[in-house]
Homo-oligomer: A and B are copies of this chain.
């Protein structure tokens, strides 16, 4: 695994063996679901696997297409329900600015996350930066605002894509 954990490490390595990312994610998902007494059914597990097929955010209808490879093409509610479950368990996050979904590298504990989204390769990296959380909480408090959910999606260029134009 090479997603950042809040201290130093950064974006995904281009040449990493991604199969292990998928296996790790599925193993963590099995664990948290067993601990919580919820059912990671084959369908839900398959959807999670597809979400993790890259480090990019995946669109619901792309999942749908990938699921329906065989004969009986899957219908929208199938994938949306699986995603709803996976989000409720913190196994995937929704990226609102992309209408897409990305796997969470740390589903075992509740956390507020920030996302770095590369406009070049599309890879998404999840941060858990206490400094951002603090700044946000302080500002909310200054406005007497009772914060319940922060959506922080940062668009730009990852180190590998730094050359190309800003974000056309």
Interface residues of A (CB under 8 A from B): 4, 8, 10-11, 96-97, 114, 116, 118-119, 125, 127, 129, 131-132, 134-136, 138-140, 142-159, 162, 166-167
Contacts of A149 in B (CB 8 A): 154-156, 167
| Chain B residue nearest to A157 in the complex (CB) | B146
Please give the distance in Å from A67's CB to the nearest CB on chain B: 25
Whether B159 lies near A145 (C-beta < 8 A) is yes
CA distance A34 to B159 in the complex (A): 40
Give the distance to chain B from A118, nearest Cβ to Cβ, in Å.
8
Report yes or no: A8 in contact with B96, Cβ–Cβ below 8 A: no
Contact of A158 among B10, B136, B145, B162 (CB under 8 A): B145
A136 proximity list for chain B (CB < 8 A): 114, 132, 135, 152, 154
